[in-house]
Structure 1
């Protein structure tokens, strides 16, 4: 049985909200001192014993490819190149052509969530997601879980004094899309929220460091942390 741990990183973002502070590069290549943000994500995956990484790329992907090549820190790096933006769901579906394992991790190329991936367990579920406790937020929707850590509801974005947010780190069964007739372009987040009961979706809560560099102030916060 193949025990290779594989991950897909979604790197197709345009970085529109960061244009005021970064040059015209894919969002995961936003510079943090002397290296791109994506390097921090890959260093984290190396520590988590991931040996094979598929970068789902689109906008100016050549910049990513030139920097990381076909291996990085001893990990094999492959590229799933979207001819046109496919949304997060379409990007994962396309990248699955390069995944060999029965299950795989998915991460966002513009967030860093320092969780122990081995604590994500599928058991009798098709998907397990890492959740982050947060206070006084309105930028994210919240997620409810029951006493057995199964997801019971997704809540729309609104001010929430205390809640759990989707940290954007998933463990997913490879065949999760098989019974659906999906368009080429779709949002994985919307797909997940519409079908979480079918997937018997689980969650693991981590109160570890989390940052989403999608807005300038959080991008600057990550730079300051790594100065």
Structure 2
């Protein structure tokens, strides 16, 4: 049985669009969902899937995250990589990969949760020998997210498309990647992984798509944060019953 890769969670975001809910100090990863911090749901889901190692990339509100892990996550082994200034999603990933040293990792946005099979993603990453695998899900309207296309047989990524209406596959905010494939690129200290890295390297890197996510939600805007109050507990509790 294929082992799940170590998992890096990007938990350093400012949560600007949720300030009305969180206030200025509380990090987005600790937003309350069904009476529990969002990060609690994430960590529980990772442990449930057998993730062997969890790394949190922390920046804004890192003291709150450290306190939460120390007092509320007994039995879950978590390590930290600190950002001393905002680095964007790309800079945060590069900094964490350099600090941690694992040759392959799963990387997850700290405001997104799904029913992604991490063991299946890890196995596909290994068997495809790709530089990077993008977990994807389908939506009826891609105008908020932008969509991607890929070869149905090899699952090789063909293109990213600007936000446009209509059904399509979207990036579900989780990747399996080879650290060397990212670190060997010349990159600025601060950049967007999605816009400045992925979109510009479709032709030069072997990127594949793992299109098996059927339930997906991010809490980045107030409307979805409100919807997450019921969706996330239902999703995770259903997974518990199936485990």
1:196 corresponds in structure 2 to 202
Q: Is the 8 A contact 2:4 2:118 kept in 1?
A: no
Which residue in the other structure is 1:75 paired with?
76
* Partner-residue secondary structure (3-state), 1:185: coil
Q: Secondary structure at the match of 1:129?
A: strand
Among 135, 153, 160, the alignment partner of 1:154 is: 160
Unmatched runs of 5 consecutive residues or more in structure 1: none
What does residue 224 of structure 1 align with? 230
- Whole-Å Cα distance in 1 between the matches of residues 98 and 141 of structure 2? 40
Q: Choose which of 172, 177, 181 in structure 2 pairs with 1:176.
A: 181
Separation of aligned partners in 2, 1:178 and 1:93:
7
More helix by share: 2
Match of 2:133 in 1: 128
After superposing the two structures, state which structure 1 stretch, 16-25 or 213-222, moved more: 16-25
Residues 29 and 37 of structure 2 are in contact (CA less than 8 Å); yes or no, is this contact kept in structure 1?
A: yes
Which residue of structure 1 aligns with residue 172 of structure 2?
167
Q: TM-score, normalization: structure 2?
A: 0.86
CA distance in 2, matches of 1:15, 1:88: 13
Q: With structure 1 as the length reference, what TM-score do the two structures score?
A: 0.92
SS of aligned partner of 1:130: strand
Match of 1:103? Answer: 104
Q: What is the root-mean-square deviation in Å for CA atoms of aligned residues? A: 1.9
Structure 1 SS opposite 2:205: coil
- Answer 1 or 2: which has greater strand percent: 1
The alignment partner of 1:19 has SS state of helix
Q: Which moved more, 1:79-88 or 1:62-71?
A: 62-71
Instruction: Please give the alpha-carbon distance, in whole angstroms, between the structure 2 residues aligned to 1:4 and 1:164.
Output: 24
**Unmatched 5+ residue regions in structure 2?**
235-243
Aligned equivalents of 1:66, 1:89: Cα separation in 2: 26
Instruction: Report the 3-state secondary structure (helix = DSSP H, G, I; strand = E; otherwise coil) of the residue aligned with 1:157.
Output: coil
CA distance in 1 between partners of 2:183 and 2:230 (Å): 43
Partner SS, residue 96 of structure 1: helix
